[in-house]
Amino acid sequence: MLSIKNLYASVEDKQILKGINLEVGAGEVHAIMGPNGSGKSSLASVLAGRENYEVTEGTVTMDGKDLLDLAPEDRAREGLFLAFQYPVEIPGVSNINFLKTALNEIRSYHGKAPLDAKRFLQLTKEKQKLVEFDAKLVNRSLNEGFSGGEKKRNEILQLAMLEPKLAILDETDSGLDIDALRIVSNGVNKLRSKDNAFILITHYQRLLEYIVPDFVHVLYNGRIVKSGGKDLALELEEKGYDWIKEENK
Amino acid sequence: MSQQVVENSNSLSLKDSLIKEFELTYSKNQGNEPEALLQKREAALGAFQCAGIPTIKNEEWRFTNLVPFLKDSYQMQPSGMPGSDVIEKAIVRATVKGLDAYRLVLVNGQIDFSFSQLPDYQEGWLIRPVSEVKGTEAFAAALNSTLPIEKYPFAAINTACFSDGFYMELNNDFQLDKPLQIIHVYSDQENLFLQPRNIIKVRRGALAEVLESSVLMSDKLLFVNGVTEIQVQENAHFKHAHFQVGEAQERWIMHTQVEQLRDSRYDNYTLTLPHADLVRNNLNVILDGPSTETHLYGLYMVENKHVVDNHSLVDHRHPNCMSNQLYKGVILDGGKGVFNGKIYVHRPAQKTNAFQQNNNLLFTPNGTINSKPQLEIYADDVKCSHGSTVGQFDEEALFYLRSRGIGADTAHSLMITAFAFDVTSKIENEALRNHIEQLIEKTIAQAQAVI
Amino acid sequence: MANKEKDEDILEQISNQEYEFGFSTDIEMDILPAGLNEDVIRFISQKKNEPEWLLEWRLKGLHTFERQAMPDWQNFEMPAINFQDISYYAAPKNKKKLGSMDEVDPELLATFAKLGIPLNEQKILAGVEELEGEKPQVAVDAVFDSVSVATTFKAELAKLGIIFCSISEAVQEHPELVRKYLGTVVPYSDNKFASLNTAAFSDGSFVYIPKGVRCPMELSTYFRINTENTGQFERTLIVADEGAYVSYLEGCTAPKRDENQLHAAIVELIAMDNAEIKYSTVQNWFPGDKDGKGGIYNFVTKRGACRGKNSKISWTQVETGSAITWKYPSVILQGDNSVGEFYSVAVTKNKQIADTGTKIYHLGKNTRSRIISKGISAGFGQNSYRGLVQVGSKADNARNFTQCDSLLIGDLCGAHTFPYIESKNNTATIEHEATTSKIGEDQIFYLNQRGIDTEQAVALIVNGYAREVLNQLPMEFAVEAQKLLSLTLEGSVG
């Protein structure tokens, strides 16, 4: 589904990604782990098309389509979803209006008619329940005054609504207590299917106890230095990242 | 240099034709008007002659250069009245969908009761043409009661020359059960310079909601120099909304002078959308009693070489008053927006809470914003603050929206709507709120089509 | 109640408190009779042995001055100043060119010593040795009425190629530099007081820091008005060439006199590529007595130009003196990535008036500015912040932040804020915030409850309030300024 080949990227002339290769197939869950500053979040930003990142080399395709050529919104419409580490607050834009606009823009991109109000509300209710999202928050301004946990749950609600092919969860576990982590993970697990795929970006193994990955990759200094099964995460937890740093001096 | 001379002589000619208009109307008014009113008119003419048409050297006009708007010549009186089909069309255009309201129609500044829909009860309120009541003592007393015309040359020449407008009075404790929409219809075969004069008196404990809008039904130039004086008496509450949606050949200089007495409340919404060429709003609120509440909300969207200039003054003269001003501006393709707000707190006005906020969004590279929020404070036990920002879109928020599949245009539109939300959300009447929100969206879509 | 009475006693006591620097010096002076005309200008120019171009320029200033109207936009009534009643030249009678510091009139040295301004290099050097590393060296140019009487550390600075001297001397020694830069930031026709200064400027300081040199010590000017019925019209010009750095301090006092005296100075700063100039002022001119009698009219034009890319100009001012202060230290940000800053504390009490602020012109790309203004009004004092932030259409990504707070102590004073914000560029971000409030009674109470008396509590609160600005001052000055603030406001809470 997603194919990253020899990806190099920089920010303000500083090389951040130095030759990433990664293949993600439908139905798979990949975890990308690594110490702080290794380039994990940068990878997520590059994939989603954040402007200040410059791709200097390599390709990224999704189902054969070149992602790097597309504007951020078109990548989203093609089915790429980024759950942000720090979701922004946009006062004055209601959550519900935002969801409706996003959903209908994506639908229209695929030549589908917009959902009417009734069916949209029905869908929202259904998904809200699925991800245990407080109905009251739906009518508030987008993320404004939300707690850290509420913001992350809102990301999962959007994920449920927009039904992307590939979802990248960027440090979704950071700042969550155990209850919130359970709710967020349950949501993701319910949304997993043979047709979609997930990339979990995380510093800790903790999240992977709730969302069990098929593959674990270790990112260090802008490159994937180790790949393996879910056991690799446990090994990392035990030995710490210094082990990786030692090996890759 | 020669250009300068030509412009000067033209602005002089507008001054001259206004003075000529005074001479014409004055001789007609002699004998028809009480001496007190005639004296006020003469004094006002003196003030206007002394000040002249303000230039950018006048601090109150430093951001708005009137010269380009004074080149044309105007008729000072309508050459005739439009037919009823024109008026009907105008009313349709001014209609706010879903708004259940009474209606007062003025055509070229004169009330037309036949197109108006007013409550059938006689008790409690009064609406009359100014031309009919200007001989009364009540009218003469209300005229310029708090308006220092020597500081406002346009209000001065309006005082000297006005012939009509509406006079509205709400009796003690009268509560208008529905909003009143006042529709100003303008139409003439010639360029028209009109100077309507309106007075609203909201007596003790009364409550009313008024929405003013206007429609120009001709392709000739229209210059309106209007003055509205409002008194909100003890415990009364007056909600006042002004929709300013015009045509490119419209120029507006509107002076609204409000006096608030003890425990009263005044809410103003000034919503200016394209396409009028020039909009200058002077909104002065004089707090003439303690414990009043004042809310001024402004939204201006300015396009293509047009100027929208909001000047506000909130004059705190007594203790325990609260005032709040929020003006938000979106400068579309090449427009110019001006905000000049002043909070004045006199020595006796202890325990004043006064706030003022002006935020501006420059949508394209070629717009201009001038913002001048001012505090002048002579009492110490007060909480006063103001803030002003000029900026563009929050890139982070834009990226977030786009990463959810929302296209750049839609994302911009959402963000502008959100930016305006702080003001639109304060409009309690749902039909009005929906109406303005739709107008905003339409304006953005048009602006995007241009870019 | 008892407490209230005590506070009133303090207020009384403070109001009667003498202005510390109100003495005058009895010294033989050369004084030109009062009056302003071409002859006076020619006399000054001749006295200073000036080249023809400078005289011509002075005369242009005079003729412009004669045509110009007094400024009328400020938030106070401009006093009637009879410019013909002022003497435009007063200098201590010592015609000889001084060979060394030892030749300075001992009476003058004593005056400056009394003001805490050491002009004796030996002593300063000795002091430095004693307090190794603790006390930074400060080079001083002392201006007494119309002329510079002494400049210290000149030789030491000259070794680095730094020129630090009186402007009269610079006209003689470095005419090419003076001609190249003088009047290029503040034109002779800028405003009535600037034109007057251009015509009649008596002396002032000149600083040139050559390419790549970081000035190793603080440079400073100390201004003293002494003679009756004179005005002081000094002119300062500071040029920091590419990559240079200088920090400059300015202090001033005047004797207590019943009549108002005029101070109309000009300061021009020029920063080339990667250069930085930091200019600090502690202004403590005689403010007049508690009834508003006497005091200095401080009408000053200060402006800096960030000509080069990545250059920086920072103004810091603590304004506690003068009957009227009228000054707007400004920065023109021409170079890309240049930075302008303005930090100000202005205190007005009794009948003092301050109308001060800044103007920042963003012309280059990525230019940044920061304005922090803290006004404190007590007694009948009136304090206005007046500021302009202007972003031109080419100033992409310009950023400004302005915070401007007013503190009111007592119910007879006033605090006013007049910001002008003008933007023609949609990539610019401008933020202006202002608040006005009275000094916190709950804060005073809290401090009282912890055993701190009201007077000290006010000093603490005000110093805390002004902290952000005071922190910008060089260490020694910061301590002085802090003392000055506390002293100025003693007993202001009734």
Residues 26-85 (C) with a CB less than 8 A from some CB of B: 73, 75
Q: What residue of B is the nearest CA neighbor of A48?
A: B403
Mean of the pLDDT values across residues C106-114? 66
By Cβ distance, the residue of B394, B406, B414 closest to A73 is: B406
**pLDDT tens string C55-81:** 999 999 999 999 999 888 888 888 888
SS3 assignment for chain C: CHHHHHHHHHHHHHHCCCCCCCCCCCCCEEECCCCCCHHHHHHHHHHCCCCHHHHHHHHHHHHHHHHCCCCCCCCCCCCCCCHHHCECCEEECCCCCCCCHHHCCHHHHHHHHHCCCCCCHHHHHHHHHHCCCCCCCEEEEEEECCEEEEECCHHHHHCCCCEEEEHHHHHHHCHHHHHHHCCCCCCCCCCHHHHHHHHHCCCCEEEEECCCCECCCEEEEEEECCCCCECECCEEEEEECCCCEEEEEEEEECCCCCCEEEECCEEEEEECCCCEEEEEEEECCCCCCCCCCCEEEEEEEEEEEECCCCCEEEEEEEECCCCEEEECCEEEECCCCCEEEEEEEEEECCCCEEEEEEEEEECCCCCEEEEEEEEEEECCCEEEEEEEEEECCCCCCCEEEEEEEEEEECCCCEEEEEEEEEECCCCCEEEEEEEEEECCHHHHHHHHHCCCCHHHHHHHHHHHHHHHHHCCCCHHHHHHHHHHHHHHHCCCCC
Asked if A93 lies within 8 A of B405 by C-beta distance, the reply is: no
Please report the pLDDT score of residue C25 as a whole number.
Answer: 66
By Cβ distance, the residue of A72, A90, A92 closest to B403 is: A72
Q: Interface of chain B against chain C, CB under 8 Å?
A: 59, 331, 347, 350, 360, 362-392
Domain A2-247 coded CATH 3.30.360.10: no
Please report the pLDDT score of residue C148 as a whole number.
Answer: 67
Does the global pTM surpass 0.95?
no
**C421 contacts in B (CB within 8 Å)?**
369-372, 388, 390
Asked if B389 lies within 8 A of C428 by C-beta distance, the reply is: no
Indicate if the pLDDT at residue C113 is higher than 70: no
Q: How confident is the model at residue C453 (pLDDT cuts 50, 70, 90)?
A: confident
- The per-residue pLDDT of chain A, averaged, comes to 90
Size of interface A-B (CB pairs under 8 A): 80
How close is the nearest chain C Cα to the Cα of B438, in Å? 25
**A98 contacts in B (CB within 8 Å)?**
401, 404, 414
By Cβ distance, the residue of B365, B372, B377 closest to C426 is: B365
Asked if A92 lies within 8 A of B406 by C-beta distance, the reply is: no
Whether C421 contacts chain B with CB within 8 A:
yes
> Which stretches of chain B drop beneath a pLDDT of 70?
1-12, 122, 451
Residues 159-178 (A) with a CB less than 8 A from some CB of B: 162
Please report the pLDDT score of residue C24 as a whole number.
Answer: 65
**B407 contacts in A (CB within 8 Å)?**
73, 105
How close is the nearest chain A Cα to the Cα of B195, in Å? 39
Q: How confident is the model at residue C119 (pLDDT cuts 50, 70, 90)?
A: low
The residues spanned by each domain of chain B are 1-219
Lowest-pLDDT range of B16-20, C36-40, C121-125, C285-289: C121-125
How close is the nearest chain B Cα to the Cα of C303, in Å? 22
Q: How confident is the model at residue C1 (pLDDT cuts 50, 70, 90)?
A: very low
- The per-residue pLDDT of chain C, averaged, comes to 82
Q: What residue of C is the nearest CA neighbor of B346?
A: C414
Asked if A162 lies within 8 A of B404 by C-beta distance, the reply is: yes
Whether A100 contacts chain B with CB within 8 A:
no
By Cβ distance, the residue of C415, C427, C429 closest to B377 is: C415
Please report the pLDDT score of residue C105 as a whole number.
Answer: 65
The residues spanned by each domain of chain A are 2-247
By Cβ distance, the residue of C75, C409, C421 closest to B372 is: C421
ipTM of model:
0.83
Indicate if the pLDDT at residue C97 is higher than 50: no
**pLDDT tens string C138-196:** 777 777 665 666 677 788 888 999 999 889 999 999 999 999 999 999 999 999 999 99
The chains in contact with chain A, meaning 3 or more Cβ pairs closer than 8 Å, are B
**B376 contacts in C (CB within 8 Å)?**
75, 414, 416-417
Mean of the pLDDT values across residues A214-220? 94
Q: How confident is the model at residue A175 (pLDDT cuts 50, 70, 90)?
A: confident
pLDDT, greater one: C203 or B108: B108
Lowest-pLDDT range of B97-106, B248-257, C96-105, C399-408: C96-105
Q: How confident is the model at residue C226 (pLDDT cuts 50, 70, 90)?
A: low
Whether A212 contacts chain B with CB within 8 A:
no
Residues 381-420 (B) with a CB less than 8 A from some CB of A: 394-397, 399-408, 410-411, 414-415, 417-420
How close is the nearest chain B Cα to the Cα of C411, in Å? 5
Please report the pLDDT score of residue C4 as a whole number.
Answer: 42
Please report the pLDDT score of residue C29 as a whole number.
Answer: 66
